[in-house]
Structures are given as structure tokens and as C-alpha cells.
Amino acid sequence: MKAYNVDDFDALIGIDWADNKHDICEIPKNTKHYHYTIIKHKPEAIRKWAMELKLRYTDQKIAIVCKLKKVP
């Protein structure tokens, strides 16, 4: 398996996963501008966010890290 570097991705996304909401930080490549958003812990909200992300980064590589309080 290839070891990846942050420079291999067009965006880095961190998710703080919680019971009621999820805090998300998105950092596009070659910028220091962070985009913060909060989504509800609802399937529709998560799907909407994921589809918007797909549109913003069509045919690009993104890395997503998720912080969990519990192990699934």
C-alpha cells in the first residue's frame, strides 16, 4: 500500500463526529483559508454535505479524517 503525503490531495477534511452534530473543517490545497461548517447528525444532512463536497472536488483526490469518541 502506498504511503500518502498531504500534498497528494486537493483538499484535507477533518470531521469531529458527535451524537447530535458534526463539526467539519475543509482546507483546499494551496491555500490557508479554512472553511468550517456544522451539519446535523441526520442521514439527509450528511448526504447533502457529501454531495456538495463531490461537486466541489470532481475528479480530485481528497483526504477525510474523522475523530470519533467511540470505536465503531
Residue 58's pLDDT is 95
**Residue 38 β-bridge partners:** 23
CA distance 27 to 20: 23
State what percent of residues in the chain have pLDDT above 70: 96
Per residue in 25-58, pLDDT (tens digit) is 999 999 989 999 999 999 999 999 999 999 999 9
CA distance 24 to 16: 6
Residue 1's pLDDT is 82
CB-CB neighbours of 38 under 10 Å:
12
CATH class of 6-67: alpha beta
Sort residue 30 into left (φ over 0), alpha (ψ -120 to 50) or beta: left
Q: pTM (2 decimals)?
A: 0.83
Q: Parse the chain into domains and list their residue ranges.
A: 6-67
